[in-house]
Amino acid sequence: MSRKASETWGRRAENFAALWLQFKGYSILARRHKTAFGEIDLVVKRGHALVAVEVKARRTFAEAQAVLTAQNLRRVRQAALQLPQKFDKKSECTLRVDAVLVVPGRFPTHVENVLER
């Protein structure tokens, strides 16, 4: 797949993941939020949970799971630690990192607290 096609597919996957999370009751606070430690695909909130979401789109579920590496998740965690300064100034929310895995022909799979698995 060309770089442009991959980028387009990735953006569509992020849109699909955002819609899925909204369906589940989350509010979308930001998309492709940039921090000093890298980009967070989606920043969402539901109740007292402020969530950094890593979206992975691949051809198969196994491939999507495989790219959630410890190194990648550490980067997302570092970036997520910057979120309360912008999105929760009253320190009322708990912070976590989730993942949404998107594969063709299936509903997205939302994995909560992906760092604890």
**Domain of residue 52, CATH code:** 3.40.1350.10
Give 14-60 pLDDT, tens digit per residue.
999 999 999 999 999 999 999 999 999 999 999 999 999 999 999 99
Q: What is the pTM of this model?
A: 0.92
Domain that holds residue 35: 3-116
pLDDT tens per residue, range 65-111: 999 998 999 999 999 999 999 998 788 899 999 999 999 999 999 99
Number of folded domains that form the chain: 1
Torsion sign (Cα): 85, 115, 38, 21 = negative
